[in-house]
Amino acid sequence: MKIGVRQRQGVTVLEPKGKITIGSGDIALRDSVIEALDSGSRKILINLKDVSTIDSSGIGELVAAYTTVTNRGGKLKLVGLPPKVSDILQITQLVTVFEVMESEEEAVDSF
C-alpha cells in the first residue's frame, strides 16, 4: 500500500492505494494522519478511490483516525468510496459516523 499526500485549498488530501489490511497499510494510514496533524493540518480528507480491499483492521484504522483527528480539534472526512468499501462501512454502521462526501470538490468546499 502507498499513500499519496497533497494539499488542496487548505485541506490535506490523503490518497491510500491498494489494500488497507492487517500488517500492510493499516499502520501506514495511521502514520500519515498523525503526520498531517503534526504539521498543523486540521482539515483532513481521505480519498479512498484507489483502495481495492479493506478489512476490519483497515476499518479500525479509519475509525482511529477519525477519533484522533476529532480529539485534536480537526475534521476528518471521506470521499471516493468504492462500492465494496462503502458496503463494509455500512455493515458496521459507520457511514453515520464518518462524513462521506460525493466528490472531492464538494468535500474540500465543505470544511
Partner 1 sequence: MSRPECQFHLALGSRFENIELVQVVLDESLRRLACDDDTRYWVGIAVREAVANAIKHGNHLDPGKKVEIDLRVEGEDLIISVLDEGNGFDPGRVADPLQPENLLKPDGRGIFYMGKFMDGVEYRFRDGGGTEVTLRKRITSGVAIPERNQEGER
HEC letters along the chain:
CEEEEEEECCEEEEEEEEEEECCEEHHHHHHHHHHHHHCCCCEEEEECCCEEEECHHHHHHHHHHHHHHHHCCCEEEEECCCHHHHHHHHHCCCCCCCEEECCHHHHHHHC
Q: Give min distance, CB of 33 to partner 1, in A.
A: 12
Q: Which amino acid is at 25?
A: G
Residues 4-63 that bind partner 1 (CB under 8 A): 21-24, 53, 55-57, 59-61, 63
Q: Give min distance, CB of 29 to partner 1, in A.
A: 12
Question: Binder to partner 1 among 3, 66, 69, 100 (CB under 8 A)?
Answer: 66
Question: Binder to partner 1 among 4, 9, 31, 97 (CB under 8 A)?
Answer: 97
Q: Is 88 one of the binding residues for partner 1 (CB under 8 A)?
A: yes
Q: Give min distance, CB of 32 to partner 1, in A.
A: 16
Calpha distance 59→9 (Å, rounded): 27
The contact set with partner 1 (CB under 8 A) reads: 21-24, 53, 55-57, 59-61, 63-64, 66-67, 84, 88, 91-94, 97
